[in-house]
């Protein structure tokens, strides 16, 4: 089998679907194609992948054209829809419930799509759980960051300030404290009036302050 690892092109997506260590194992029995620069954002050079047995491919389109199985991190973007074809397997996070256009594009291409988040083993979701745990931990860190004054927050320290208790303590509930922050990780649909936001446009303000990221672990 020819396995293709393209570089992610979604804005602020820095992850890569396969590490050199995994490449080494797969290359024992399969041909592995890795796009130039696919792992550079996580500190993995083309040479690292080449040493592990991969062939480095310079063009994004050629990965899709040659690969029997394309392994990605995030769903294909519209520019990638025409690259999918019948008989090919796409292995990635898809989250189709909130993306009708992508769902239709997959159907039209007749590609076989396997969503990481739907892979179930012994009634568990082993490919989704780690990302959910990372997002949950990050929500507190990012929430605290956006409570800072320079981010438009109220300058509130999560957990409170030592020696300030009782009547001086502030509630962070939006209904009691306008401007309070609410984390929404990740957004697959709509929550509290939130909408998915990308890039540096990560916050919106309604009754309170929402951060609505489609994904958090890539940060």
CATH value at residue 80: 3.40.50.720
Q: Is residue 217 part of a domain?
A: no
113 and 11 share one domain = yes
Write down which residue in 64, 95, 118 finishes a domain. Answer: 118
CA dihedral angle for residue 7, residue 12, residue 14, residue 16, rounded to 10 degrees: -40
pLDDT of residue 197: 58
60 and 137 share one domain = no
pLDDT of residue 152: 87
103 and 32 share one domain = yes
- Taking 50 as the pLDDT cut, the residues of the chain under it are 167-168, 171-172, 180-181, 183-185, 189, 206-207
Q: Is residue 193 part of a domain?
A: yes
Active-site residue, from 14, 95, 150, 191: 95
Only one residue has tokens 């990221």, namely: 213
Range of the domain at 203: 129-212
pLDDT of residue 154: 85
- How many domains does the chain contain in total? 2
Q: In the annotation, is 210 catalytic?
A: no
pLDDT of residue 171: 47
41 and 95 share one domain = yes
3-state secondary structure of 171: coil
Only one residue has tokens 């929500």, namely: 139
CA dihedral angle for residue 28, residue 120, residue 133, residue 216, rounded to 10 degrees: 70
19 and 114 share one domain = yes
pLDDT of residue 162: 72
Q: Is residue 219 part of a domain?
A: no
Using CA atoms, how far residue 10 sits from 72, 77, 133, 135, 164, in Å, is: 11, 7, 22, 18, 44
Q: Is residue 194 part of a domain?
A: yes
Can you read off the two tokens belonging to residue 6?
Answer: 């393209």
Q: Is residue 51 part of a domain?
A: yes
Using CA atoms, how far residue 115 sits from 64, 73, 89, 150, in Å, is: 17, 10, 11, 39
49 and 137 share one domain = no
| CA 27/CA 25 separation, integer angstroms | 6
For residue 132, what is the enclosing H or E element? helix 129-146
């Amino acid at each position: 089998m020819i396995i293709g690892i393209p570089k992610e092109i979604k804005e602020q997506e820095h992850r890569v679907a396969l590490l050199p260590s995994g490449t080494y194992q797969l290359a024992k029995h399969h041909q592995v194609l890795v796009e130039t620069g696919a792992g550079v954002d996580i500190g993995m050079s083309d040479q690292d992948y080449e040493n592990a047995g991969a062939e480095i491919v310079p063009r994004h389109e050629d990965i899709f054209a040659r690969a029997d199985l394309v392994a990605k991190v995030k769903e294909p973007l519209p520019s990638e829809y025409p690259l999918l074809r019948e008989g090919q397997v796409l292995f990635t996070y898809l989250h189709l419930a909130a993306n009708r256009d992508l769902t239709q594009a997959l159907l039209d291409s007749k590609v076989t799509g396997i969503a990481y988040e739907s892979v179930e083993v012994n009634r568990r979701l082993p490919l989704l759980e780690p990302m959910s745990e990372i997002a949950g931990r990050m929500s507190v860190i990012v929430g605290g960051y956006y409570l800072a004054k320079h981010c438009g927050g109220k300058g509130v320290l999560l957990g409170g300030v030592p020696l300030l208790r009782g009547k001086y303590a502030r509630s962070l509930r939006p209904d009691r404290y306008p401007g309070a922050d609410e984390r929404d990780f990740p957004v697959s649909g709509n929550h509290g009036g939130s909408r998915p936001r990308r890039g540096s446009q990560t916050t919106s303000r309604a009754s309170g302050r929402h951060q609505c990221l489609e994904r958090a672990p890539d940060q």
